Amino acid sequence: MVKTAAPRVTLRAVIVCILFFPALFSSCSLFGNDQFPGYLKYAVAKVDLGALYQAEGLKEPVSVSRAFLTADSGTGSRAFIFASSYEGSRLFVFDGATIKHVKTVQNNGLRSFLTVLPSGNYLCGGVELDAATLSIVSDTRPTISLSDSARSFTDGVYLYVLYQDGAGLHCDRYDGAWNHLSSASVPPLSGFSTSSYQLLDAYHEASVSSKVRLLFSTYSGVRSVTFASVADFLAAYGQVSLDLGSESVVALPYFSDNGGWATRDGLIALSYEQNSRVIRYSYDTGSELDDERLDSTNGDRRYYFDPSGYFRLFLDEDTELLHLLRTWWK
């Protein structure tokens, strides 16, 4: 048998191909993507939620109505995904530093409202979980007004839950044992009817600052309302409008109703005007501090930011992959 020598590919030939056929080398379609996903440089870990759903008895379609990442991720914190299908609801709990799945909670008292109680325990709807063991402490906690649109903060003694209904914005106060202490109607934003704005987030870290920050989406833009303390926030109940009793009000450009987070390092916004971006704004001036571009591979995805500003969850609903990413400014 006569062997035929394989043709040699010289460096000159490769250079000629790159020079005269650049489209071949610039097109990422060879690798299955239209554009290299820029978020990969911030990647810490990921988990296949689709496989997890199947293992835990949830059949497609599965809807994720809430994700939650506790402050200071990577130092014993947790990440949560509340998911539902025709088979019911599940609360998936992950290690906050690795996104390793540590527990799945199944209980009829689960709802999409997620928060950290003054005791440090976790609450999902009417189900309280021990912070250390993740065992159920109680599944009969009050669930009135608790939905995925409710937001909350704690001063270490009380839990304040803010929620909206047809009559406006309200705040319920609970003690560390989840006893309901009081309810109050919160004044509307100046110049807006109670039905013309949406509460996006509430933020207070007593160990970092005394300030309470609320973030609203309105038909004419976004309002960040800051109070010097919890006491000042409570005193605002007696005002004609909520922002009259505040320390400062900052107006931001319009962005998605579902794309706003209040963090230790500023306000985070999703902007789809011109170039799609995730933007960090200053609390003091409303000016842009920095941003991250969203590329064409983003598809149907959701972001959830750690309140302390170190990490974020990035849920790709097309692939059902949950990514843990560093924030771009740390």
Which pLDDT does position 86 carry in this prediction?
A: 92
Which pLDDT does position 162 carry in this prediction?
A: 93
Note the Cα 304 to chain centre separation in Å.
2
Which pLDDT does position 13 carry in this prediction?
A: 40
> How do the residues of the chain divide into helix, strand and coil, expressed in percent and rounded to 5?
15, 40, 45
Q: How distant, in Å, are the alpha carbons of 154, 213, 219, 289 from that of 265?
A: 18, 12, 25, 10
Kindly tell me the sign of the dihedral angle through the C-alpha atoms of 22, 28, 29, 31. Answer: positive
Provide the token pair at 156. Answer: 């270490």
Which pLDDT does position 49 carry in this prediction?
A: 96
Q: How far is it between the farthest Cα atoms of the chain?
A: 98
Task: Identify which of 244, 268, 147 has the alpha carbon closest to the alpha carbon of residue 187.
Answer: 244
pTM over 0.75: yes
**pLDDT score of 28 more than 80:** no
**For residues 261-283, average pLDDT:** 85
Task: Identify which of 15, 98, 2, 81 has the alpha carbon closest to the alpha carbon of residue 317.
Answer: 81
Alpha helices (H) in the chain, listed in sequence order: 11-20, 22-26, 49-55, 230-235
**pLDDT score of 307 more than 80:** yes
Between these two residues, 251 and 9, which has the higher pLDDT value?
251
- 84 vs 61: CA distance, rounded Å: 9
Which pLDDT does position 238 carry in this prediction?
A: 81
For residue range 127-142, what is the model confidence (pLDDT) as tens digits? 999 998 999 999 988 7
**pLDDT score of 171 more than 80:** yes
